[in-house]
Structure 1
Amino acid sequence: MSTFVISLDFELFWGVADIAAIKDYGPNVDGEWEAVPAMLSLFRRYRVNATWATVGMLMCRDFEQWRALRPDIMPAYRNPALSAYRHADMARSHPRLFFGRPLVQRILETPGQELASHTYSHYLCNEEGAAPDQFAADMRLAAEVAGELGVRLQSLVLPRNQVHADYLDTLDKSGIEVFRGNSDHWLYRNGHAAPGGLAGRAVRLADAWLPLRCATSKAGAAAGRLVNVPASMFLRPWSRPLARIEPLRLRRLREAMTDAARSDGMFHLWWHPHNFGVNQAENMRVLEAVLQHYAMLRGEYGMASMTMREFAKSQVGMVEAHA
């Protein structure tokens, strides 16, 4: 059976605080307060399940709770600006950009949605000074704050797709059973870091419009029973300079989804809600077109919509059935 998986990296400003200024990127994040409910409405309408990999810090009720929660072992990046704990002044001055528990509750109230982990502090595994014991302490806090909402985290998306085997090995005690891996293609194996720098990023951009590779994914095992549900494609935000070739991007997405449906494969689409925080009407039109195509594939090929957790469990069930 073919499967359509969606995962979203839900992080508010925690995900960009080290690389963006509020005056520049604040509108994108503020727009999530409208974009997230709009996406949930579309998922409900088209009966689409999705995994919301959420930074634990944004689940805090407010700045005071965030300030009180600290891990046993603090992040020790060589570049201290990478640590979310360095951004207290911004978080206190702009709480709407950093704390979004009401949005998390909207996700939990919507059928078919999975609340997953994006670590507690948007922890970056591949940065100099990062260490598995720091990561494990961070994940314990993620579980604690999710537990306040009655959620046991089972799926994980690593920030900036920095997948590192040493960190996956620490997850056996955290309850995490599933993670989003990177596409097994030279363009994407290293996550956020594109090979060849600007040239590699240019090729990645072209891949969103042209079929430079097969985007159908296959699940795999890593670190014991941990299931890898690798990404297929990133749903790029609508861009005014590229608006004239938007039909080409939609065709690329639809053809990749159709290839997965015809081959009983898995198509795993991902993005950040803040990507849709501006140009919301245009971005929602693109998303609805994608979901409409999924609905057609569901009717024609029986393609199923699953969260990361659901997909992983279906794979385990298939393996056990054939054992």
Structure 2
Amino acid sequence: MNAVVLSLDAELAWGYHDFEEVPEHVESARTSWSRLLALFDEFNVPATWAVVGHLFLDSCDGTHAGHPTSTGDWFDRDPGGVAAQHPLWFGDGLVDSIVDADANHEIGCHTFSHVEFGDEETDREVAVAEARTGLEVADDAGHTLESFVFPRNNIGHRDVLAAYGFTCYRGERPELWYDGSRFDSLGKLIDLTVSKTNPPLVDPEVDEYGLVNIPASMFLFGYEGRVRTVTERLWDDPLVRSAKRGIDRAADAEDGIFHLWMHPNNFTEERDFERLRTILEHLAARRDEARLQVRTMGDVAGEIRGVDPATTRTPIGPR
């Protein structure tokens, strides 16, 4: 399969609700979300939008009694109320805008309240509640979810995902030569600017639970601020260069997937949107001239499993 997959962690304020402070840039997250949808429409590029389940709600009491974490402080920052009063804590039309877009996007699951499944404090009861509640609120809003993205890429409790009918998840990026070394920053710069083998293409595989692991190839951000500004003055944007290389490798290889991921929250400056526009423009050109496909995570999982996931998964799962 020669394909490019784009996935987004769509979380608004929920991505930071367990931080000491919710960053100021989240205030523009709703606008960023809408602008990204417009960009994807412009180039007819579908993506998997992994949505935090709470964003499917129109209102809540802020406590979520019955959730295993409701007796602690997990929901302390949840303001409750209705979407019109607290737009960064509810979707308020944003999820529907994914469905209404011209590009054929997929809506996936990013848990109900952005719990890290791989955290040692996240026991199976919490994972079950997060998976089940995420599916329930999506189902109530008319959406069926099959793809799963772990908050902060902290993977755990995959058996729970299988039990609740998910078909795939975004797995860890393949290990690179500089990971964990004292040359991490230098290695990243080398790979972004001159390497011919990075970012890696990935080969999705079915894990021991029957889930399709679709590993990430590259995060669209993480090389920002002053370092980015200085680098752009000397060369072009290194992230753009790297993403184009990943797209070209997927187009020219015998087989392989380039999986690019991001958050709507990452887009805080005009140059961030220009970064993505340049990449999508290149992707559209390579798609039109080669055998390259643009697929959602659910598409990839369906092809690998050889089944139509909509006919096999249970919308809510076992109790």
Q: TM-score band, normalised by the shorter chain?
A: 0.7 to 0.9
Q: Is 1:108 aligned with 2:99?
A: yes
- Using the size of structure 2 for normalisation, the TM-score is 0.84
Q: Is 1:215 aligned with 2:192?
A: no
Q: Percent identity?
A: 29
- Could you list the runs of 5+ residues in structure 2 that have no partner in the other structure? 308-319
How many angstroms apart in 2 are the aligned matches of 1:270 and 1:71?
A: 33
Q: Do the aligned residues in 2 keep the contact of 1:91 with 1:97 (CA within 8 Å)?
A: no
What is the root-mean-square deviation in Å for CA atoms of aligned residues? 2.8
- 2:93 is paired with a residue whose SS is helix
- Could you list the runs of 5+ residues in structure 1 that have no partner in the other structure? 189-193, 319-323
Match of 1:132 among 87, 108, 124: 124
Q: Who is 1:185 aligned against?
A: 175
Higher helix share: 1
Q: 1:39 to 1:237 in 2, by over 3 A?
A: farther
Q: Do the aligned residues in 1 keep the contact of 2:250 with 2:258 (CA within 8 Å)?
A: yes
Q: Who is 1:161 aligned against?
A: 153
Q: Do the aligned residues in 2 keep the contact of 1:71 with 1:141 (CA within 8 Å)?
A: no
- 1:101 is paired with a residue whose SS is coil
Q: What letter matches 1:108 in structure 2? A: V
Q: Is 1:275 aligned with 2:266?
A: yes
How many pairs were matched up? 298
Q: Cα offset for 1:186?
A: 5.2
- Per-residue CA shift, 1:240-288, capped at 9, x if unaligned? 5222423141222211211121113101000111000x21x21111111
Q: Is 1:231 aligned with 2:225?
A: no
Q: Do the aligned residues in 2 keep the contact of 1:32 with 1:273 (CA within 8 Å)?
A: yes
Q: Do the aligned residues in 1 keep the contact of 2:61 with 2:80 (CA within 8 Å)?
A: no
- 2:88 is paired with a residue whose SS is helix
Q: Cα offset for 1:128?
A: 3.3
Q: What letter matches 1:122 in structure 2? A: H
How many angstroms apart in 2 are the aligned matches of 1:147 and 1:187?
A: 43
Q: What letter matches 2:10 in structure 1? A: F
Match of 2:274 among 280, 285, 295: 285
How many angstroms apart in 2 are the aligned matches of 1:55 and 1:172?
A: 19
Q: Cα offset for 1:296?
A: 1.6
Q: Which runs of 4+ in 1 moved over 6 A?
A: 90-94
- 2:155 is paired with a residue whose SS is coil
- 1:88 is paired with a residue whose SS is coil
- Per-residue CA shift, 1:216-253, capped at 9, x if unaligned? 11101113321011100000178452224231412222
Q: Do the aligned residues in 2 keep the contact of 1:73 with 1:137 (CA within 8 Å)?
A: yes
Q: Who is 2:62 aligned against?
A: 67
- Using the size of structure 1 for normalisation, the TM-score is 0.83
Match of 2:34 among 13, 20, 37: 37
Match of 1:254 among 244, 254, 260: 244
